[in-house]
């Protein structure tokens, strides 16, 4: 997911966009064994063979959601067939045609045994077809159980990849700051709450000369936070990603699905939202009256070592470290921390989400279900499967088997995986529930801009957030009925 404004979809969407960019590759189909791809790992062969014996004579049919991963899935299917003799077929739907293809394929006698669902709404639609995965090895290997889709008392699907966002920071600069007399944190690890982050950011902004002297020319810091642009190319970071925080905690309190949301909200955590926003603006060098000008470049500010903190996601890794952009930061300088929000900071991980979840067809013959579960377990435990996902597909997988050489190569994604493994609770992508996303966000950004430049007040932001949500939800429901 690169920078884009429309990062959430409408309420009626059943199939949602995937982790990473999607291509327009055509639909393809192939039976396993159509090309030679023998494994050289004897241990993997033994394991797969044992699982095949356990699964009987079943077969596997994967309806793949991501066109750009078709080649890797075809190769995995062939390799597994070569090792075990199990028939594995892969059909990849054309870009934007997954739901149509799924409906068509599910109506056939030999329907997919593995299919993708995006969220709880999709789980409701396909409830009769989703096998309960709660007792499977696939679910047991999931490092963060919040990345499973639960519906109707069962684990309907399990995420197969994820993306993360939070606050990107320059560790080199923070290490230098923490070494200053009377610094507000003794180490980067000491910055583990909104109180601490706010104290550090305020102090950095007030001690820039002292900090730059300690850095001895390594960087020329001009601000704690990179500019919080409210132009169309940047505002989604705050009307979508930062706005996710109060939505997530309110949905959680209300006991509703945190990615499906609810028709009305109270804005219970908007004071926390305001506190974080005020910190972003106060501790930046940008003029608050110019945030919607389009003249600011937060990525460049951070990349050139002018800013210490930058709210964004793991998709920024390549942009910041490519070496072709002239940025002064390197891979060793940067990492990511949660957007501490003053609610459950001690347990909070990064904001982690996906619309890619494996579901297993409960209406398939039992021998096919068993074969399918064995295949998925092989994918996430074998060298071939893990290499294909991490290196071939360039995805971050949320399973405890992806360690060592199969850990995410993106450091931000690796940090997310570590936080999950350490027991931190990932913040779900509640912005996926936003009704009429473009219209709702536009109203929030307009009110936020006026509040920040002094021409408006915070009550207008609350109105746009809360009343606007109810209005857009009603409009979306009415549109869905037509």
Least confident residue range of 199-213, 404-418, 437-451: 404-418
Query: Per-residue confidence at 146, pLDDT binned at 50, 70, 90?
Result: confident
- pLDDT on residue 477: 86
| pLDDT at residue 444 tops 70 | yes
For range 186-200, the mean pLDDT: 98
* 315 C-beta neighbours (distance < 10 Å), count: 20
Least confident residue range of 163-172, 333-342, 472-481: 472-481
For range 211-239, the mean pLDDT: 97
| pLDDT at residue 372 tops 50 | yes
Q: Give the CATH H-level superfamily of domain 164-352.
A: Periplasmic binding protein-like II (3.40.190.10)
Structure tokens at 51: 């699982």
Q: What is the 3-state secondary structure (H, E, C) of the chain?
A: CCCCCCCCCCCCCCCCCCCCCCCCCCCEEEECCCCCCCCCCHHHHHHHHHHHHHHCCCCEEEEECCHHHHHHHHHHHHHHHHHHCCCEEEEECCCCCHHHHHHHHHCCCCCCCEEEECCHHHHHHCHHHECCCCCCHHHHCECCHHHEEEECCEEEEEECCCEEEEEEEEHHHHHHHHCCCCCCCCCHHHCCCHHHHHHHHHHHHHCHHHHHHHHCCCCCCCEEECCCCCCCCCCHHHHHHHCHHHHHHHHHHHCCCCCCCCCCCCCCCHHHHHHHHHHHHHCCCCCHHHCCCCCCCHHHHHHCCCEEEEEEEHHHHHHHHCCCCCCCCCCCCEEEECCCCCCCHHHEEEEEECCCEEEEECCCCHHHHHHHHHHHHHHHHCHHHHHHHHHHCCCCCCECCCCHHHCCCCHHHHHHHHHHHCCCEEECCHHHHCCCHHHHHHHHHHHHHHHHHCCCCHHHHHHHHHHHHHHHHHHHHHHHHC
- pLDDT on residue 56: 54
| pLDDT at residue 156 tops 60 | yes
Structure tokens at 304: 């050139």
Query: Per-residue confidence at 54, pLDDT binned at 50, 70, 90?
Result: very low
Structure tokens at 260: 């499906």
Answering whether pTM is above 0.95, one says no
CA atoms of 316 and 323, how far apart (whole Å): 13
Average pLDDT, the chain: 88
Residues of the chain with CATH 3.40.190.10: 28-162+354-402, 164-352
For range 259-277, the mean pLDDT: 96
- Answer with the residue of higher pLDDT: 305 or 49: 305
| pLDDT at residue 16 tops 50 | no
- pLDDT on residue 324: 83
Q: Specify whether the CB–CB gap between 416 and 426 falls below 8 A.
A: yes
For range 337-357, the mean pLDDT: 95
- pLDDT on residue 39: 37
- pLDDT on residue 264: 98
Q: Which residues of 59-84 are buried (b: 16+ CB within 10 A; e: fewer)?
A: bbbbbbbbbbbbebbbbbbbbbbbbb
Least confident residue range of 186-190, 402-406, 451-455: 402-406
For range 56-70, the mean pLDDT: 91
pLDDT tens-place string over residues 271-316: 999 999 999 999 999 999 999 999 999 999 999 999 999 999 998 9
- pLDDT on residue 19: 55
For range 30-55, the mean pLDDT: 39
CA atoms of 275 and 337, how far apart (whole Å): 18
- Answer with the residue of higher pLDDT: 318 or 112: 112
Query: Per-residue confidence at 416, pLDDT binned at 50, 70, 90?
Result: very high
CA atoms of 208 and 203, how far apart (whole Å): 9
Residue 477: which residues within 8 A CB-CB, separation 6 or more? 11, 263
- pLDDT on residue 397: 93
* CATH of the structural domain 28-162+354-402, one choice from 3.10.580.10, 3.40.50.300, 3.40.190.10, 3.30.70.270: 3.40.190.10
For range 203-219, the mean pLDDT: 97
- Answer with the residue of higher pLDDT: 149 or 280: 280
């Amino acid at each position: 997911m690169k920078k884009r404004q429309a990062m959430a979809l409408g309420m009626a969407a059943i199939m949602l966009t995937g982790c990473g960019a999607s291509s327009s590759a055509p639909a393809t189909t192939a039976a396993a064994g159509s090309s030679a791809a023998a494994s050289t790992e004897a241990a993997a062969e033994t394991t797969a063979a044992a699982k095949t014996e356990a699964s009987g004579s079943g077969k596997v049919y994967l309806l793949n959601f991501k066109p750009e991963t078709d080649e890797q899935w075809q190769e995995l299917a062939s390799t597994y067939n070569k090792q075990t003799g199990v028939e594995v077929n892969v059909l990849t739907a054309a870009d934007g045609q997954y739901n149509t293809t799924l409906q068509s394929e599910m109506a056939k006698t030999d329907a997919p045994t593995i299919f993708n669902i995006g969220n709880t709404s999709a789980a409701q639609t396909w409830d009769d077809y989703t096998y309960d995965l709660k007792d499977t090895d696939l679910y047991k290997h999931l490092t963060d159980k919040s990345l499973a889709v639960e519906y109707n008392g069962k684990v309907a699907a399990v995420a197969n990849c994820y993306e993360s966002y939070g606050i990107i920071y320059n560790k080199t600069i923070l290490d230098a700051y923490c070494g200053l007399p009377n610094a507000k944190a003794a180490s980067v690890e000491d910055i583990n709450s909104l109180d601490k982050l706010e104290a550090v950011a305020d102090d950095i902004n007030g001690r820039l000369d002292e900090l730059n002297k300690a850095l001895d020319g390594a960087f020329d810091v001009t601000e704690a936070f990179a500019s919080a642009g409210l132009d169309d190319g940047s505002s989604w970071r705050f009307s979508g990603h930062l706005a996710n925080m109060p939505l997530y905690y309110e949905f959680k309190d209300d006991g509703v699905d945190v990615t499906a949301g609810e028709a009305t909200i109270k804005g219970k955590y908007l004071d926390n939202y305001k506190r974080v926003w005020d910190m972003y603006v106060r501790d930046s060098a940008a003029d608050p009256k110019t945030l919607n000008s389009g003249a600011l470049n937060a990525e460049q500010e951070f990349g050139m070592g002018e800013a210490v903190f930058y709210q964004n996601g793991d998709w920024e890794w390549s942009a910041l470290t490519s070496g072709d952009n002239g940025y002064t930061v390197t891979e060793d300088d940067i990492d990511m921390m949660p957007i501490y929000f003053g609610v459950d900071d001690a347990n909070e991980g990064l904001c982690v989400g996906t619309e890619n979840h494996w579901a297993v067809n409960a209406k398939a013959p039992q021998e096919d279900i068993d074969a399918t579960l064995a295949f998925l377990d092989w994918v996430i435990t074998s060298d071939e499967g893990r290499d294909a996902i991490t290196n071939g597909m360039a995805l971050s997988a949320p399973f405890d088997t992806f360690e060592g050489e199969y850990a995410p190569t993106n450091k931000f994604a690796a940090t997310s995986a570590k936080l999950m493994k350490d027991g931190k609770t990932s913040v779900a992508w509640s912005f996926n529930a936003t009704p009429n996303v473009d219209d709702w966000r536009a109203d929030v950004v307009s009110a936020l801009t006026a509040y920040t430049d002094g021409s408006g007040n915070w009550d207008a932001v609350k109105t746009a957030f809360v009343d606007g949500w109810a209005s857009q939800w009603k409009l979306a429901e009415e549109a869905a009925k037509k």
